[in-house]
Protein backbone atom coordinates (compact mmCIF):
# COMPACT_ATOMS: atom_id res chain seq x y z
CA UNK A 1 0.00 0.00 0.00
CA UNK A 2 1.27 3.41 -0.90
CA UNK A 3 0.03 6.97 -1.12
CA UNK A 4 2.44 7.76 -3.92
CA UNK A 5 1.06 9.24 -7.09
CA UNK A 6 0.67 6.40 -9.61
CA UNK A 7 1.94 6.60 -13.16
CA UNK A 8 -1.43 7.48 -14.60
CA UNK A 9 -1.99 10.34 -12.15
CA UNK A 10 1.53 11.53 -12.90
CA UNK A 11 0.74 11.54 -16.61
CA UNK A 12 -2.45 13.46 -15.97
CA UNK A 13 -0.52 16.01 -13.93
CA UNK A 14 2.12 16.39 -16.66
CA UNK A 15 -0.58 16.98 -19.29
CA UNK A 16 -2.38 19.45 -17.04
CA UNK A 17 0.77 21.37 -16.17
CA UNK A 18 1.90 21.50 -19.82
CA UNK A 19 -1.53 22.83 -20.81
CA UNK A 20 -1.49 25.43 -18.05
CA UNK A 21 1.92 26.66 -19.19
CA UNK A 22 1.10 26.65 -22.89
CA UNK A 23 -2.29 28.36 -22.52
CA UNK A 24 -0.50 31.06 -20.52
CA UNK A 25 2.35 31.45 -22.98
CA UNK A 26 0.58 31.05 -26.33
CA UNK A 27 -3.12 31.37 -25.54
CA UNK A 28 -5.80 28.70 -25.72
CA UNK A 29 -6.55 28.75 -29.40
CA UNK A 30 -2.92 28.87 -30.52
CA UNK A 31 -2.04 25.84 -28.41
CA UNK A 32 -2.49 22.59 -30.32
CA UNK A 33 -2.99 19.16 -28.83
CA UNK A 34 0.33 18.24 -30.49
CA UNK A 35 2.02 21.09 -28.56
CA UNK A 36 0.62 19.71 -25.31
CA UNK A 37 1.60 16.10 -26.04
CA UNK A 38 5.11 17.22 -26.92
CA UNK A 39 5.54 19.39 -23.81
CA UNK A 40 4.04 16.71 -21.53
CA UNK A 41 5.91 13.85 -23.23
CA UNK A 42 2.60 11.99 -23.38
CA UNK A 43 0.66 9.93 -25.90
CA UNK A 44 -2.62 11.06 -27.34
CA UNK A 45 -4.34 8.00 -25.82
CA UNK A 46 -3.46 9.20 -22.30
CA UNK A 47 -4.57 12.73 -23.06
CA UNK A 48 -7.95 11.71 -24.44
CA UNK A 49 -8.39 9.28 -21.55
CA UNK A 50 -8.11 12.07 -18.99
CA UNK A 51 -9.41 14.96 -21.11
CA UNK A 52 -11.81 13.89 -23.86
CA UNK A 53 -11.90 17.43 -25.35
CA UNK A 54 -9.59 20.42 -25.39
CA UNK A 55 -12.23 22.28 -23.38
CA UNK A 56 -11.95 19.65 -20.63
CA UNK A 57 -8.29 20.58 -20.42
CA UNK A 58 -9.20 24.25 -20.19
CA UNK A 59 -11.70 23.56 -17.40
CA UNK A 60 -9.08 21.57 -15.47
CA UNK A 61 -6.55 24.40 -15.92
CA UNK A 62 -9.07 26.95 -14.62
CA UNK A 63 -9.85 24.70 -11.64
CA UNK A 64 -6.12 24.48 -10.95
CA UNK A 65 -5.83 28.26 -10.90
CA UNK A 66 -8.92 28.51 -8.68
CA UNK A 67 -7.52 26.02 -6.18
CA UNK A 68 -4.07 27.61 -6.38
CA UNK A 69 -5.01 31.16 -5.39
CA UNK A 70 -4.07 30.68 -1.74
CA UNK A 71 -1.10 28.28 -1.92
CA UNK A 72 0.43 29.42 -5.21
CA UNK A 73 -0.37 33.13 -5.38
CA UNK A 74 -1.17 34.60 -1.97
CA UNK A 75 1.04 32.56 0.36
CA UNK A 76 4.27 33.41 -1.52
CA UNK A 77 3.27 37.07 -1.91
CA UNK A 78 2.39 37.42 1.78
CA UNK A 79 5.42 35.80 3.36
CA UNK A 80 6.57 38.25 6.03
CA UNK A 81 3.80 40.74 5.24
CA UNK A 82 1.34 41.01 8.12
CA UNK A 83 -0.28 44.39 7.51
CA UNK A 84 -3.51 43.82 5.58
CA UNK A 85 -3.18 46.86 3.32
CA UNK A 86 0.48 46.11 2.65
CA UNK A 87 -0.64 42.58 1.70
CA UNK A 88 -2.67 44.10 -1.13
CA UNK A 89 0.35 45.99 -2.43
CA UNK A 90 2.54 42.91 -1.93
CA UNK A 91 0.12 40.96 -4.11
CA UNK A 92 0.36 43.66 -6.79
CA UNK A 93 4.15 43.57 -6.43
CA UNK A 94 4.10 39.85 -7.25
CA UNK A 95 2.51 40.70 -10.62
CA UNK A 96 5.17 43.35 -11.15
CA UNK A 97 7.84 40.68 -10.60
CA UNK A 98 6.11 38.44 -13.14
CA UNK A 99 6.21 41.29 -15.65
CA UNK A 100 9.80 42.16 -14.81
CA UNK A 101 11.10 38.59 -15.03
CA UNK A 102 9.51 38.09 -18.48
CA UNK A 103 10.56 41.39 -20.07
CA UNK A 104 6.92 42.42 -19.73
CA UNK A 105 5.55 39.62 -21.88
CA UNK A 106 3.61 38.28 -18.87
CA UNK A 107 -0.17 38.36 -18.97
CA UNK A 108 -2.51 37.33 -16.18
CA UNK A 109 -3.68 33.94 -17.51
CA UNK A 110 -7.26 34.44 -16.31
CA UNK A 111 -7.50 37.93 -17.79
CA UNK A 112 -5.98 36.79 -21.07
CA UNK A 113 -8.35 33.84 -21.39
CA UNK A 114 -11.28 36.07 -20.42
CA UNK A 115 -10.58 38.32 -23.40
CA UNK A 116 -9.28 35.69 -25.83
CA UNK A 117 -12.40 33.52 -25.63
CA UNK A 118 -15.15 35.53 -27.27
CA UNK A 119 -18.00 33.11 -26.82
CA UNK A 120 -16.90 30.78 -24.05
CA UNK A 121 -19.17 27.94 -23.05
CA UNK A 122 -21.02 28.70 -19.80
CA UNK A 123 -18.84 26.25 -17.83
CA UNK A 124 -15.68 28.05 -18.97
CA UNK A 125 -17.03 31.54 -18.35
CA UNK A 126 -18.25 30.42 -14.94
CA UNK A 127 -14.77 29.24 -13.95
CA UNK A 128 -13.16 32.43 -15.24
CA UNK A 129 -15.65 34.37 -13.11
CA UNK A 130 -14.95 32.15 -10.08
CA UNK A 131 -11.25 32.91 -10.40
CA UNK A 132 -11.89 36.66 -10.46
CA UNK A 133 -14.30 36.38 -7.52
CA UNK A 134 -11.81 34.34 -5.49
CA UNK A 135 -9.12 36.99 -6.01
CA UNK A 136 -11.54 39.77 -5.07
CA UNK A 137 -12.75 37.88 -1.98
CA UNK A 138 -9.21 37.52 -0.61
CA UNK A 139 -8.43 41.19 -1.25
CA UNK A 140 -11.70 42.19 0.35
CA UNK A 141 -10.78 40.16 3.44
CA UNK A 142 -7.61 42.29 3.70
CA UNK A 143 -9.69 45.45 3.44
CA UNK A 144 -12.11 44.20 6.07
CA UNK A 145 -9.17 43.40 8.35
CA UNK A 146 -8.18 47.07 7.93
CA UNK A 147 -11.75 48.32 8.14
CA UNK A 148 -10.96 51.19 10.51
CA UNK A 149 -8.34 52.52 8.06
CA UNK A 150 -10.89 52.97 5.25
CA UNK A 151 -13.72 55.53 5.46
CA UNK A 152 -17.01 54.06 6.66
CA UNK A 153 -18.90 54.89 3.47
CA UNK A 154 -16.42 53.06 1.22
CA UNK A 155 -17.77 49.62 0.26
CA UNK A 156 -14.91 47.13 0.56
CA UNK A 157 -16.38 44.85 -2.10
CA UNK A 158 -16.35 47.67 -4.66
CA UNK A 159 -12.86 48.68 -3.60
CA UNK A 160 -11.57 45.09 -3.86
CA UNK A 161 -13.06 44.84 -7.37
CA UNK A 162 -11.28 48.10 -8.25
CA UNK A 163 -7.99 46.61 -7.07
CA UNK A 164 -8.40 43.66 -9.45
CA UNK A 165 -9.24 46.22 -12.15
CA UNK A 166 -5.98 48.03 -11.34
CA UNK A 167 -3.94 44.83 -11.66
CA UNK A 168 -5.58 43.66 -14.89
CA UNK A 169 -5.57 47.04 -16.63
CA UNK A 170 -1.98 47.71 -15.58
CA UNK A 171 -0.71 44.30 -16.71
CA UNK A 172 -2.52 44.68 -20.05
CA UNK A 173 -0.88 48.02 -20.83
CA UNK A 174 2.58 47.07 -19.55
CA UNK A 175 2.52 43.93 -21.63
CA UNK A 176 1.55 45.95 -24.70
CA UNK A 177 4.20 48.60 -24.15
CA UNK A 178 6.80 46.03 -23.02
CA UNK A 179 7.48 48.42 -20.17
CA UNK A 180 6.66 48.51 -16.46
CA UNK A 181 5.60 52.14 -16.69
CA UNK A 182 1.82 51.70 -17.05
CA UNK A 183 1.67 49.05 -14.31
CA UNK A 184 3.75 51.22 -11.99
CA UNK A 185 1.64 54.28 -12.83
CA UNK A 186 -1.56 52.39 -12.00
CA UNK A 187 -0.24 51.05 -8.69
CA UNK A 188 1.15 54.49 -7.78
CA UNK A 189 -2.28 56.05 -8.34
CA UNK A 190 -3.94 53.27 -6.32
CA UNK A 191 -1.45 53.94 -3.50
CA UNK A 192 -2.24 57.64 -3.66
CA UNK A 193 -5.93 56.76 -3.44
CA UNK A 194 -5.24 54.56 -0.39
CA UNK A 195 -3.23 57.32 1.26
CA UNK A 196 -6.20 59.65 0.84
CA UNK A 197 -8.63 56.98 2.11
CA UNK A 198 -6.48 56.36 5.19
CA UNK A 199 -6.22 60.09 5.91
CA UNK A 200 -9.98 60.45 5.63
CA UNK A 201 -10.53 57.47 7.92
CA UNK A 202 -8.21 59.04 10.52
CA UNK A 203 -10.26 62.25 10.37
CA UNK A 204 -13.44 60.20 10.94
CA UNK A 205 -12.02 58.51 14.04
CA UNK A 206 -10.10 61.15 15.97
CA UNK B 1 -14.04 64.22 -62.49
CA UNK B 2 -15.39 63.04 -59.19
CA UNK B 3 -14.29 62.69 -55.63
CA UNK B 4 -16.57 59.72 -55.10
CA UNK B 5 -15.08 56.56 -53.71
CA UNK B 6 -14.41 54.22 -56.65
CA UNK B 7 -15.50 50.60 -56.70
CA UNK B 8 -12.10 49.26 -55.68
CA UNK B 9 -11.85 51.63 -52.73
CA UNK B 10 -15.36 50.65 -51.75
CA UNK B 11 -14.37 46.98 -51.81
CA UNK B 12 -11.32 47.72 -49.71
CA UNK B 13 -13.50 49.57 -47.22
CA UNK B 14 -15.99 46.71 -47.05
CA UNK B 15 -13.21 44.20 -46.41
CA UNK B 16 -11.66 46.45 -43.78
CA UNK B 17 -14.95 47.09 -41.99
CA UNK B 18 -15.89 43.40 -42.04
CA UNK B 19 -12.50 42.54 -40.55
CA UNK B 20 -12.82 45.21 -37.87
CA UNK B 21 -16.23 43.86 -36.88
CA UNK B 22 -15.21 40.20 -36.94
CA UNK B 23 -11.94 40.70 -35.05
CA UNK B 24 -13.97 42.52 -32.40
CA UNK B 25 -16.71 39.89 -32.23
CA UNK B 26 -14.73 36.67 -32.63
CA UNK B 27 -11.11 37.63 -32.08
CA UNK B 28 -8.27 37.69 -34.60
CA UNK B 29 -7.34 34.05 -34.61
CA UNK B 30 -10.89 32.74 -34.71
CA UNK B 31 -11.73 34.88 -37.74
CA UNK B 32 -10.99 33.12 -41.01
CA UNK B 33 -10.39 34.73 -44.36
CA UNK B 34 -13.54 32.93 -45.51
CA UNK B 35 -15.50 34.67 -42.72
CA UNK B 36 -14.22 38.04 -43.92
CA UNK B 37 -14.97 37.36 -47.60
CA UNK B 38 -18.47 36.27 -46.69
CA UNK B 39 -19.18 39.27 -44.46
CA UNK B 40 -17.68 41.71 -46.98
CA UNK B 41 -19.29 40.02 -49.99
CA UNK B 42 -15.88 40.10 -51.68
CA UNK B 43 -13.70 37.76 -53.70
CA UNK B 44 -10.40 36.46 -52.43
CA UNK B 45 -8.60 38.17 -55.35
CA UNK B 46 -9.75 41.59 -54.08
CA UNK B 47 -8.80 40.79 -50.53
CA UNK B 48 -5.29 39.63 -51.41
CA UNK B 49 -4.87 42.61 -53.72
CA UNK B 50 -5.46 45.05 -50.88
CA UNK B 51 -4.20 42.92 -47.98
CA UNK B 52 -1.59 40.33 -48.99
CA UNK B 53 -1.61 38.73 -45.51
CA UNK B 54 -4.08 38.48 -42.64
CA UNK B 55 -1.67 40.57 -40.59
CA UNK B 56 -1.95 43.37 -43.15
CA UNK B 57 -5.66 43.36 -42.41
CA UNK B 58 -4.96 43.54 -38.69
CA UNK B 59 -2.59 46.46 -39.17
CA UNK B 60 -5.20 48.31 -41.23
CA UNK B 61 -7.84 47.64 -38.56
CA UNK B 62 -5.54 49.00 -35.84
CA UNK B 63 -4.80 52.08 -37.97
CA UNK B 64 -8.55 52.57 -38.38
CA UNK B 65 -9.04 52.49 -34.61
CA UNK B 66 -6.10 54.86 -34.12
CA UNK B 67 -7.49 57.36 -36.63
CA UNK B 68 -11.01 56.92 -35.23
CA UNK B 69 -10.32 57.87 -31.61
CA UNK B 70 -11.43 61.46 -32.05
CA UNK B 71 -14.25 61.19 -34.62
CA UNK B 72 -15.65 57.79 -33.64
CA UNK B 73 -15.04 57.56 -29.89
CA UNK B 74 -14.51 60.97 -28.30
CA UNK B 75 -16.73 63.23 -30.39
CA UNK B 76 -19.90 61.16 -29.78
CA UNK B 77 -19.07 60.72 -26.08
CA UNK B 78 -18.42 64.42 -25.58
CA UNK B 79 -21.44 65.91 -27.32
CA UNK B 80 -22.88 68.42 -24.85
CA UNK B 81 -20.20 67.71 -22.24
CA UNK B 82 -17.91 70.70 -21.76
CA UNK B 83 -16.44 70.08 -18.31
CA UNK B 84 -13.08 68.34 -18.78
CA UNK B 85 -13.45 65.98 -15.80
CA UNK B 86 -17.03 65.14 -16.79
CA UNK B 87 -15.67 64.36 -20.26
CA UNK B 88 -13.56 61.60 -18.71
CA UNK B 89 -16.60 60.07 -17.04
CA UNK B 90 -18.66 60.56 -20.21
CA UNK B 91 -16.02 58.56 -22.08
CA UNK B 92 -16.26 55.80 -19.49
CA UNK B 93 -20.05 55.95 -19.76
CA UNK B 94 -19.76 55.25 -23.49
CA UNK B 95 -18.03 51.94 -22.65
CA UNK B 96 -20.80 51.20 -20.18
CA UNK B 97 -23.35 51.70 -22.95
CA UNK B 98 -21.37 49.31 -25.17
CA UNK B 99 -21.49 46.71 -22.40
CA UNK B 100 -25.15 47.34 -21.71
CA UNK B 101 -26.25 47.14 -25.34
CA UNK B 102 -24.45 43.81 -25.87
CA UNK B 103 -25.59 42.08 -22.65
CA UNK B 104 -22.03 42.57 -21.42
CA UNK B 105 -20.39 40.59 -24.19
CA UNK B 106 -18.55 43.73 -25.35
CA UNK B 107 -14.79 43.84 -25.07
CA UNK B 108 -12.55 46.78 -25.89
CA UNK B 109 -11.15 45.61 -29.24
CA UNK B 110 -7.66 46.97 -28.52
CA UNK B 111 -7.52 45.40 -25.06
CA UNK B 112 -8.82 42.09 -26.38
CA UNK B 113 -6.26 41.99 -29.21
CA UNK B 114 -3.50 43.05 -26.78
CA UNK B 115 -4.16 39.97 -24.66
CA UNK B 116 -5.19 37.56 -27.44
CA UNK B 117 -1.97 37.98 -29.42
CA UNK B 118 0.75 36.44 -27.30
CA UNK B 119 3.71 37.10 -29.55
CA UNK B 120 2.59 39.88 -31.85
CA UNK B 121 4.95 41.09 -34.53
CA UNK B 122 6.55 44.40 -33.59
CA UNK B 123 4.42 46.32 -36.10
CA UNK B 124 1.23 44.97 -34.51
CA UNK B 125 2.37 45.54 -30.94
CA UNK B 126 3.44 49.06 -31.88
CA UNK B 127 -0.02 49.90 -33.23
CA UNK B 128 -1.73 48.43 -30.17
CA UNK B 129 0.54 50.64 -28.03
CA UNK B 130 -0.20 53.68 -30.20
CA UNK B 131 -3.92 53.14 -29.66
CA UNK B 132 -3.47 53.01 -25.88
CA UNK B 133 -1.22 56.07 -25.95
CA UNK B 134 -3.70 58.03 -28.06
CA UNK B 135 -6.49 57.29 -25.58
CA UNK B 136 -4.28 58.27 -22.65
CA UNK B 137 -3.15 61.47 -24.40
CA UNK B 138 -6.72 62.66 -24.91
CA UNK B 139 -7.67 61.88 -21.30
CA UNK B 140 -4.54 63.62 -20.07
CA UNK B 141 -5.53 66.71 -22.06
CA UNK B 142 -8.82 66.72 -20.11
CA UNK B 143 -6.90 66.48 -16.85
CA UNK B 144 -4.55 69.28 -17.89
CA UNK B 145 -7.55 71.42 -18.79
CA UNK B 146 -8.74 70.83 -15.19
CA UNK B 147 -5.25 71.19 -13.75
CA UNK B 148 -6.32 73.42 -10.86
CA UNK B 149 -8.86 70.81 -9.74
CA UNK B 150 -6.19 68.13 -9.23
CA UNK B 151 -3.52 68.43 -6.51
CA UNK B 152 -0.24 69.83 -7.75
CA UNK B 153 1.77 66.72 -6.91
CA UNK B 154 -0.48 64.39 -8.94
CA UNK B 155 1.11 63.62 -12.32
CA UNK B 156 -1.63 63.84 -14.96
CA UNK B 157 0.11 61.33 -17.23
CA UNK B 158 0.07 58.69 -14.50
CA UNK B 159 -3.54 59.54 -13.64
CA UNK B 160 -4.61 59.31 -17.31
CA UNK B 161 -2.91 55.90 -17.57
CA UNK B 162 -4.81 54.82 -14.44
CA UNK B 163 -8.08 55.88 -16.08
CA UNK B 164 -7.38 53.61 -19.06
CA UNK B 165 -6.52 50.89 -16.54
CA UNK B 166 -9.92 51.45 -14.91
CA UNK B 167 -11.77 51.12 -18.20
CA UNK B 168 -9.90 48.03 -19.37
CA UNK B 169 -9.99 46.18 -16.05
CA UNK B 170 -13.65 47.02 -15.54
CA UNK B 171 -14.69 45.93 -19.04
CA UNK B 172 -12.73 42.69 -18.65
CA UNK B 173 -14.48 41.72 -15.45
CA UNK B 174 -17.96 42.84 -16.53
CA UNK B 175 -17.62 40.86 -19.74
CA UNK B 176 -16.58 37.79 -17.75
CA UNK B 177 -19.40 38.12 -15.23
CA UNK B 178 -21.92 39.19 -17.91
CA UNK B 179 -22.89 41.92 -15.48
CA UNK B 180 -22.27 45.65 -15.24
CA UNK B 181 -21.40 45.39 -11.56
CA UNK B 182 -17.59 45.24 -11.81
CA UNK B 183 -17.44 48.05 -14.37
CA UNK B 184 -19.76 50.20 -12.26
CA UNK B 185 -17.78 49.38 -9.12
CA UNK B 186 -14.53 50.44 -10.80
CA UNK B 187 -15.95 53.70 -12.12
CA UNK B 188 -17.57 54.44 -8.73
CA UNK B 189 -14.20 54.03 -7.00
CA UNK B 190 -12.51 56.20 -9.63
CA UNK B 191 -15.19 58.85 -9.03
CA UNK B 192 -14.59 58.62 -5.28
CA UNK B 193 -10.86 59.09 -5.95
CA UNK B 194 -11.60 62.14 -8.12
CA UNK B 195 -13.85 63.60 -5.42
CA UNK B 196 -10.99 63.27 -2.95
CA UNK B 197 -8.49 64.74 -5.43
CA UNK B 198 -10.76 67.73 -6.09
CA UNK B 199 -11.28 68.31 -2.35
CA UNK B 200 -7.53 68.22 -1.79
CA UNK B 201 -6.96 70.63 -4.69
CA UNK B 202 -9.49 73.06 -3.17
CA UNK B 203 -7.60 72.91 0.14
CA UNK B 204 -4.35 73.73 -1.70
CA UNK B 205 -5.86 76.79 -3.41
CA UNK B 206 -8.04 78.47 -0.80
Q: Dihedral of CA B192/B198/B204/B206: which sign?
A: negative
> Out of A16-25, A86-95, B3-12, B85-94, which region has the weakest mean confidence (pLDDT)?
B3-12
Residues 6+ apart with CB under 8 A from A87: A77, A78, A81, A142
Q: What are B148-166's pLDDT values in tens digits?
A: 999 999 999 999 999 999 9
Would you tell me which residues 127-156 of chain A have a C-beta closer than 8 angstroms to some C-beta of chain B?
Answer: 128-129, 132, 154
Position A1 pLDDT exceeds 70: no
Gap from A182 CA to chain B (nearest CA, Å):
6
Share of chain B above pLDDT 70, in %: 96
Position B3 pLDDT exceeds 70: no
> Out of A3-12, B27-36, B99-108, B158-167, which region has the weakest mean confidence (pLDDT)?
A3-12
- Please report which confidence band the pLDDT of residue B4 belongs to, taking 50, 70 and 90 as the band edges: low
Kindly state whether B162 is in contact with chain A, defined as any CB-CB distance less than 8 angstroms: yes
Q: What are A73-106's pLDDT values in tens digits?
A: 999 999 999 999 999 999 999 999 999 999 999 9
Q: How far apart are CA B83 and CA B53, in angstroms?
A: 44
Residue of A173, A190, A199, A202 to mutate for B, most B C-beta atoms under 10 A: A173
Cβ contact B189–A162 (<8 Å): yes
Gap from B3 CA to chain A (nearest CA, Å):
39
Q: Dihedral of CA A75/A76/A79/A85: which sign?
A: negative
**H/E element holding B167?**
helix B156-177
Position A18 pLDDT exceeds 60: yes
Q: What are B59-101's pLDDT values in tens digits?
A: 999 999 999 999 999 999 999 999 999 999 999 999 999 999 9
Nearest to B170 among A26, A129, A165 (CB): A165
Q: How far apart are CA A172 and CA B170, in angstroms?
A: 12
- C-beta neighbour count of B15 within 10 angstroms: 23
Q: Which chain B residues contact residue A192 at CB under 8 A?
A: 154
Share of chain A above pLDDT 90, in %: 93
Residue of A189, A191, A193, A204 to mutate for B, most B C-beta atoms under 10 A: A189
Gap from A11 CA to chain B (nearest CA, Å):
27
Amino acid sequence: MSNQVGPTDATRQRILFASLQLFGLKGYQSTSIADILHAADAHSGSLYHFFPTKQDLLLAVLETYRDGIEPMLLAPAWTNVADPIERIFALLASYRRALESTDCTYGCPIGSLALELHEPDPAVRQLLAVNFLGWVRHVRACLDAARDRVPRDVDTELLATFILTTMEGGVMQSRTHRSLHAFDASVAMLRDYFNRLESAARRERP
